[in-house]
Amino acid sequence: MADLSAFPIAGKWPAQHPDRLQLYSLPTPNGVKVSIMLEETGLPYEAHMVSFERNEQMSPEFLSLSPNNKIPAILDPNGPNGEPLGLFESGAILIYLAEKTGKLLPADPAARYETIQWLMFQMGGVGPMFGQLGFFHKFAGKDYEDKRPRDRYVAEARRLLGVLEGRMAGRQWIMGDEYTIADIAIWPWVRNLVGYYEAGDLVGFDDFPNVQRVLNDFVSRPEVARGLGIPSPA
């Protein structure tokens, strides 16, 4: 049985199955990237809810694994060379899990880097820009009388959707016929933009039929449907 006692986070969130990969997360766009990836690969794991309402992301135990106080984070008891490995940052976790399982990241070097390129497009553009739009449209920023900040992110969200619209023309997935970690990274954020953030009309989502088509295909996957609800509230 794996010994996780050296990791403070395992004390706050005890593992019922210490030989399985441990996921510390919430069902947010970044969080579900990893739960969907785990469902897609079939890798055994145990999910732990990190409660923002209880400020658990700022606890010393969580910060010991994720010093940037962001979810998701993982603790793999069967890491490289058989040693436990902790990781934070969803993009890094996706690459790690793809390489660990040999799934959802092309083996061909050119296709591999092209996939990572689109993963970085999400990490550096889609996530931050859609998130800012959510703040200014749905959360505290919606009360600002000056709508120029909101409109800046509306314009940028539309631009990013336009990039995706062009990419998806004639394609089933980001990389064509092959479903990859790039899809797992991007489509939860698109779903959140038009769902939870309720910004579909604001960004003119009807102008992006290819994006709509692929988003529908993505959420129809059984593994995605399961991953979107993990971790479930206690």
Per-residue pLDDT of 180-207, as tens digits, reads 999 999 999 999 999 999 999 999 999 9
Pairing between β-strand 21-25 and β-strand 45-49 as defined by DSSP bridges:
parallel
Check if the beta carbon of residue 119 is closer than 8 Å to that of residue 94.
yes
Structure confidence at residue 234 (pLDDT): 60
Specify the pTM: 0.97
Express each pLDDT in 88-118 by its tens digit: 999 999 999 999 999 999 999 999 999 999 9
Stretch 213-231: mean pLDDT, rounded?
98
Mean pLDDT value across the chain? 97
Express each pLDDT in 8-31 by its tens digit: 999 999 999 999 999 999 999 999
CATH topology of domain 8-103: Glutaredoxin (3.40.30)
CATH number of 109-224, picked from 1.10.287.70, 1.20.1050.10, 3.40.50.720, 3.40.50.450? 1.20.1050.10
- 90: Cα within 13 Å, side-chain hemisphere: 31
Domain boundaries along the sequence of the chain: 8-103, 109-224
Express each pLDDT in 111-159 by its tens digit: 999 999 999 999 999 999 999 999 999 999 999 999 999 999 999 999 9
| % pLDDT > 70, the chain | 99
Interior/surface letters 185-196, b for 16+ CB within 10 angstroms, e for the rest: bbbbbbbbbbee
Side by side, the strands of the sheet bearing 21-25 are: 45-49, 21-25, 73-76, 85-88
Work out the widest C-alpha separation in the chain, in whole angstroms. 57
CA–CA dist 195, 116 (Å, integer): 26
CA–CA dist 140, 195 (Å, integer): 18
